Amino acid sequence: MSLSILQIRYYTPSVKWMLKTILSGFKKAFFAPKAYDIIVLEYGIDHLGEMDFLLSIAKPDISLVTKIDGVHSMNFVSKEIIAEEKYKLLMQTKRCVFLNLDDEFASQYAEKIAVQHHYFSTHAWSTRWEIHFKNESMKRDQTEIWMEFDVGLGSKKIHFTTNFIPTESKAYVGIGCMIAWKLQWELPEQIKMWFSLQPSRFTILEGIYNSICIDSSYNAAPASMKVMIENVKQLQIDLFSDYKLMFCLGEMRELGEYCSQAHRELAELLFEYKDIFVVGESMKKNFLPFHETAIHFPNSRLLWTHLQTFLSESPEKYLMLFKGSQNTIFMEEALVMVLKHSEDIQRICRQEPYWKQKKQKFFDFSQKSL
């Protein structure tokens, strides 16, 4: 959040970087002209009390909370405590809030929020949702994949074209339309939004042996893992019907008592798919016993060795999802070695010198342990 306020997009953790950031923040605070009229901030938390700290920096005019998940349950004890912490954001919002109809806690907290309410959903459209979506389609050519759909806001209809294709993106486009409407902006009849996506957040890349790689390796939590799997299934149906699906998944962490259940549910979600490759002890302990054909690897470099052989020997073309990459998982390392174009490595997360050194130390130690 602080980096967004200071307009810092890229960083590598180090003492030098921290000092440079502090100096940059000081210059912008006292000497730079006003940087923006509107700013969108992520109030990300992973422990109790953190939301209070973020709200002490800036109380939002408009806010929303995405669906409460079990991520960071180890630090919060339960999803109920996570909800209590996150909904502080909505209760201290100054103008209006968007409540997620998909979230089990939304109705419980709605009556505690004093400002105007709006509702949204990322998949199940409801009469309570003031935005309507029609004519959705996915398209592709030799170099690009994009989604088109119509957004209805009252009597206004807007045709959107975007390269950000996860199905839930429609919901956030709808929220953007509502916010623009509240700010009394005049919206055109057609909008094209072409994003430069952050590394490893649903990037589509060409792989070796005619494979297509979906890179969502940056992180993994139960809800995001399930949503991404559903997105890839839909992508296959819409654009890659002649490809088989493959899932390369890293374990989900900081789930506390929810860990076993979350990994078992993931295995059940993928029961019909054969080509499943997993990394991490939680995957070995809690996923593998519930999936007959999944294969576990002690680290992601052993996985990429397997993938290179597997793809070279298979007559099939594969649509491959890479998801989950906390410390010691580093799922992006398996992906890097099956890319068709070496220049695409710069579009993968954790390729800076700091991370390369850290990963090399881990893999050296892992190899000795094996």
pTM flag (> 0.85): no
Average pLDDT over residues 205-232: 93
CA pair distance 151, 140, nearest whole angstrom: 21
Residue 191 confidence class, pLDDT cut points 50, 70, 90: very high
Q: Structure tokens of 223?
A: 């809800």
- Looking at the predicted structure, is the pLDDT value of residue 16 above 90? no
pLDDT at residue 122, as a whole number: 80
CA pair distance 63, 89, nearest whole angstrom: 7
Q: Structure tokens of 273?
A: 């798919």
Cβ proximity of 59 and 95 under 8 Å:
no
pLDDT at residue 315, as a whole number: 96
pLDDT, tens digit, for every residue of 256-297?
888 999 999 999 999 999 999 999 999 999 999 999 999 999
pLDDT at residue 260, as a whole number: 94
CA-to-CA separations, 110 to 96, 104, 118, in angstroms, rounded: 12, 11, 10
pLDDT at residue 31, as a whole number: 79
pLDDT, tens digit, for every residue of 134-170?
898 999 987 789 999 999 887 889 999 999 888 888 8
CA pair distance 245, 232, nearest whole angstrom: 8
Under the phi-then-psi rule, with left for phi > 0, alpha for psi from -120 to 50, and beta for the rest, what region is 277? beta
pLDDT at residue 178, as a whole number: 85
Average pLDDT, the chain: 90
Q: Structure tokens of 217?
A: 């390796």
pLDDT at residue 310, as a whole number: 97
- Looking at the predicted structure, is the pLDDT value of residue 74 above 70? no
pLDDT at residue 125, as a whole number: 66
Cβ proximity of 89 and 65 under 8 Å:
yes
Residue 126 confidence class, pLDDT cut points 50, 70, 90: low
pLDDT at residue 73, as a whole number: 61
Residue 72 confidence class, pLDDT cut points 50, 70, 90: low
- Whose tokens are 């054909």? That residue is 293
Residue 248 forms beta bridges with which residues? 277, 322
CA-to-CA separations, 299 to 280, 310, 364, in angstroms, rounded: 7, 17, 11
Average pLDDT over residues 229-252: 96
pLDDT, tens digit, for every residue of 22-47?
888 788 777 777 778 889 999 988 88
CA pair distance 302, 367, nearest whole angstrom: 10
Residue 131 forms beta bridges with which residues? 153
- Looking at the predicted structure, is the pLDDT value of residue 124 above 70? no
Cβ proximity of 332 and 216 under 8 Å:
no
pLDDT at residue 184, as a whole number: 83
Q: Structure tokens of 145?
A: 């994949």
- Whose tokens are 């998944």? That residue is 249
CA pair distance 106, 91, nearest whole angstrom: 12
Q: Structure tokens of 48?
A: 């109790």
Higher per-residue confidence, 73 vs 352: 352
Residue ranges and CATH numbers for the domains of the chain are: 1-38 (no CATH), 40-125 (3.40.1190.10), 130-195 (no CATH), 203-350+363-369 (3.90.190.20)
SS3 of the chain: the string is CHHHHCCCCCCCCCHHHHHHHHHHHHHHHHCCCCCCCCCCCCCCCCCCCHHHHHHHHCCCCEEECCCCCCCCHHHHCCHHHHHHHHCHHHHCCCCEEEEECCCCCHHHHHCCCCCEEEEECCCCCCCCECEEEEEEEEEECCCCEEEEEEEEECCEEEEEEECCCCCCHHHHHHHHHHHHHHCCCCCCCEEEECCCCCCCCCEEEEECCCCEEEEECCCCCHHHHHHHHHHHHHHHHHHCCCCEEEEEEECCCCCHHHHHHHHHHHHHHCCCCCCEEEECHHHHHHHHHHCCCCEEECCHHHHHHHHHHHHHHCCCCEEEEEECCCCCCCCHHHHHCCECCHHHHHHCCCCCHHHHHHHHHHHHHHHHHC
